[in-house]
C-alpha cells in the first residue's frame, strides 16, 4: 500500500492553466457584481431577481460541495450503495415538498431567512435560538469544506494539510464579500457545470474498465464476499444484514422524513437560494428543477466509491487507523480514483471540479452565515436602528470573520472516521428539531410562541444529550439506535428522529397550555389563515405540480430498479 504522505500526482502546465483560469473567472465575477450588492436586498438576497433555473441550479450546487464529492464517495466505499439513499429518499421528497407546500409561506411572508420566518410566527426568542444554532452549525460545516480541500492537496499534490487548510480558507472570502449572494449564486451555477464536467471522468472511465454495472457488482461481491454493498433496499430488513447496521425504519423515518425534510426545507444555506427567485412560481419551480438534477448526482458522487470497492487493490480504513498505519482512509477515495484515471489536462479538470466543489460549499455557508448573523442576531439584538449601508458593511465583515472562525472547526473533522458521520451528527443536533418547529408553525394554527421556543430548545438539547450519552456509555447505542449493531450513521438517523419527536411533543403540550396568537396575526404564515396563489389558468406543462409528479414517478422507478 502506498504511503499516505506520498504525492500521488504532479500538476503540469496545462493543469495549472485550467485551475488558474477558473480562479480568474470567479474573482472577475465578484468584482463585476460588486456594484449590484450595495443594498441589503442586493447583498443578502440577490435583489430577488433570479429565474427558476438559476435559483434551482444554485440550490443544488450549494449542497454539491467538496463535502458531497469527497464525503459521499467515502461513505459509498464504507457503506456501499446505501449511501445513495441520501440523494434519493434523503432529498427528492423533501425538495418537492419544499416547492409545493412550504415555499408559498417563505415567499409570501417576504422573510429574509428561516429564523426570520420563526420570528414572524413565534417571536424573537425562537428566532434568536434558531439563528444562534444555525450560525454555530454553519461554521462547523465550513470546516468540512476546508478539510476536504486540504485533504485533496495533501493526497494529490503532497502539501502539508495544516498549510492547505489556511490557504484554501481564503479562496471564497473575496468574491462573496464583494458581490454577496448574487456573486455566490452565479459562481455556484458555473461551479455546478464544472463539477459535472470534471467529475464525470471517474465514473465513465471506471465503468469502461469494469465493463459496466453488472460486472462491477460481480467484482465487488468477489472482493468483499457479499452482495450486500450493491442493494439499495433488500438488505434493510435487519440491522445485521447491511454494511451500515441500519433498519429500513431508520432510513425511511430518520433520514427520509426528519433529517431530509429538516435540511432541504429549513436549512437556510439552501433555502436562501430559493428566496432569491423573482416571483412565487419561480420560487416553487426552483426546488423541483433542483430535484431533477439531484437524482443524477449519485452517478458522479456515489459511483466512484463503488468503483473503488471493485478496482482498488487494497482496503481503505477509518481516518484514525490510516494515520496510525500510514495508509489511506475512506475520505481519500476520490483523490485515489483521480490518480487512477486522470492524466495531464484531465487531472487539471478533475482538480478544478474539486476546487469548484469546495468553493460552492464554502460560499453557501459563508453567505448564509452573513445573512443570519447580520439580520437575525446583530440587527435583532445588538443594533436595531442602523442604516442599510451599515448592515451591508457588517455582512461583508462577518463573511471574512466567518471564514476565519471556520478554520478552527476544520480541525474537528479530523476526529471522525468519515466526513459524513460528522455532518449527519450536526444535522441531528440542529436541523431535525428545527424542522419540527417550522412544520408545526406552518400547518397548525394552535402552535404558540412559547410552544415553538420550548419545543425547539428541548429537541436540540435532547439530541446533543443522546450523542453525549452514547459517547460516555457505548451500551446506550442499543437504546438510541434500537440495536447494538448500529454504526455511526445509523445512530445519527435515530437520534434525529427522536429529537424531532421530542421537539414536536413538547411544542404540542406547551401550546395546549398557553395562549395562541389571534388568527389575524397568522395571515401569510399558516395554512388555514392564508390564501395560496395557484396556477389554475396556466397550461399543464407550466404548473409546478405537474413537474413535481413527473419527478416523483422517476424517483419511484429508480428505487425499484436498484432494490
pLDDT at 5: 44
In a domain, 42, yes or no: no
Beta bridge partners of 329: 317
Distance CA 39, CA 396 (A): 12
254-275: per-residue pLDDT in tens?
888 888 888 888 877 778 788 8
pLDDT at 360: 67
How much of the chain is in helix, strand and coil states, percent to nearest 5?
A: 75, 0, 25
In a domain, 5, yes or no: no
Higher pLDDT, 516 or 195: 516
CB 164 within 8 A of CB 150: yes
In a domain, 43, yes or no: no
536-550: per-residue pLDDT in tens?
777 777 888 899 999
- Domain count for the chain, please give it: 1
- Count CB-CB contacts under 10 A for residue 17: 13
CATH number at residue 298: 1.20.1730.10
In a domain, 260, yes or no: yes
Domain range for 360 is 13-34+50-528+539-561
The residue-averaged pLDDT of 215-232 equals 82
Average confidence score pLDDT of the chain: 80
In a domain, 245, yes or no: yes
In a domain, 39, yes or no: no
In a domain, 338, yes or no: yes
Distance CA 43, CA 31 (A): 13
pLDDT at 425: 79
In a domain, 244, yes or no: yes
Amino acid at each position: 500500500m502506498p504511503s499516505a504522505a506520498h504525492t500521488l500526482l504532479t500538476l503540469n502546465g496545462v493543469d495549472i492553466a485550467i485551475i488558474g483560469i477558473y480562479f480568474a473567472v470567479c474573482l472577475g465575477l465578484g468584482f463585476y457584481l460588486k456594484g449590484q450588492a450595495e443594498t441589503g436586498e442586493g447583498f443578502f438576497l440577490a435583489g430577488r431577481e433570479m429565474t427558476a433555473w438559476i435559483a434551482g441550479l444554485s440550490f443544488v450546487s450549494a449542497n454539491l460541495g467538496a463535502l458531497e464529492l469527497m464525503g459521499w464517495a467515502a461513505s459509498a466505499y464504507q457503506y456501499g450503495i446505501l449511501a445513495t439513499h441520501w440523494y434519493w429518499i434523503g432529498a427528492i421528497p423533501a425538495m418537492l415538498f419544499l416547492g409545493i407546500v412550504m415555499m408559498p409561506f417563505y415567499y409570501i411572508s417576504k422573510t429574509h431567512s428561516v429564523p426570520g420566518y420563526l420570528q414572524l410566527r413565534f417571536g424573537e426568542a425562537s428566532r434568536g435560538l434558531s439563528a444562534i444554532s444555525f450560525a454555530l452549525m454553519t461554521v462547523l460545516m465550513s470546516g468540512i469544506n476546508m478539510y476536504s480541500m486540504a485533504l485533496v492537496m495533501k493526497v494529490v499534490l503532497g502539501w502539508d494539510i495544516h498549510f492547505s487548510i489556511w490557504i484554501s480558507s481564503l479562496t471564497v472570502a473575496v468574491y462573496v464579500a464583494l458581490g454577496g449572494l448574487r456573486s455566490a449564486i452565479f459562481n455556484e451555477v458555473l461551479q455546478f457545470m464544472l463539477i459535472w464536467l470534471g467529475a464525470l471522468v471517474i465514473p465513465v472511465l471506471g465503468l469502461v474498465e469494469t465493463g459496466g454495472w453488472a460486472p462491477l457488482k460481480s467484482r465487488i461481491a468477489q472482493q468483499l464476499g457479499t452482495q450486500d454493498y450493491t442493494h439499495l433496499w433488500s438488505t434493510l430488513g435487519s440491522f445485521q444484514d447491511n454494511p451500515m447496521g441500519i433498519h429500513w425504519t431508520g432510513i425511511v423515518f430518520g433520514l427520509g422524513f426528519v433529517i431530509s425534510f429538516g435540511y432541504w426545507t429549513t436549512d437556510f444555506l439552501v433555502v436562501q437560494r430559493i428566496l432569491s427567485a423573482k416571483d412565487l412560481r419561480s420560487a416553487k419551480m426552483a426546488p423541483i428543477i433542483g430535484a431533477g438534477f439531484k437524482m443524477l448526482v449519485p452517478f458522479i458522487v456515489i459511483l466512484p466509491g463503488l468503483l473503488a470497492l471493485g478496482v482498488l487493490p487494497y482496503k481503505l480504513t477509518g481516518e484514525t487507523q490510516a494515520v496510525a498505519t500510514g495508509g489511506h482512509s475512506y475520505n481519500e477515495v476520490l483523490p485515489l480514483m483521480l490518480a487512477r484515471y486522470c492524466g495531464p489536462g484531465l487531472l487539471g479538470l478533475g482538480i478544478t471540479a474539486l476546487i469548484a466543489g469546495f468553493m460552492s460549499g464554502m460560499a453557501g455557508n459563508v453567505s448564509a452565515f452573513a445573512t443570519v448573523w447580520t439580520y437575525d442576531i446583530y440587527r435583532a439584538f445588538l443594533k436595531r436602528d442602523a442604516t442599510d449601508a451599515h448592515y451591508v458593511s457588517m455582512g461583508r465583515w462577518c463573511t471574512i470573520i466567518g471564514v476565519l472562525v471556520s478554520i478552527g472547526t476544520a480541525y474537528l473533522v479530523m476526529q471522525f472516521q468519515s466526513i459524513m458521520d460528522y455532518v449527519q451528527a450536526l444535522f441531528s443536533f440542529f436541523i431535525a428539531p428545527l424542522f419540527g418547529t417550522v412544520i408545526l408553525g406552518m400547518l397548525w394554527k394552535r402552535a404558540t410562541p412559547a410552544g415553538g421556543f420550548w419545543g425547539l430548545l428541548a429537541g436540540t438539547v435532547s439530541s446533543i444529550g443522546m450523542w453525549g450519552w452514547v459517547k460516555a456509555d457505548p451500551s446506550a447505542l442499543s437504546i438510541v439506535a434500537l440495536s447494538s449493531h448500529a454504526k455511526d450513521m445509523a445512530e445519527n438517523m435515530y437520534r434525529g428522529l427522536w429529537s424531532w419527536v421530542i421537539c414536536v411533543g413538547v411544542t404540542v403540550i406547551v401550546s395546549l397550555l398557553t395562549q395562541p396568537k389571534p388568527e389575524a396575526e397568522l395571515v401569510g404564515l399558516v395554512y388555514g389563515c392564508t390564501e395560496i396563489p395557484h396556477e389554475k389558468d396556466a397550461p399543464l406543462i407550466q404548473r409546478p405540480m405537474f413537474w413535481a409528479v413527473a419527478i416523483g414517478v422517476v424517483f419511484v422507478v429508480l428505487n425499484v430498479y436498484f432494490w
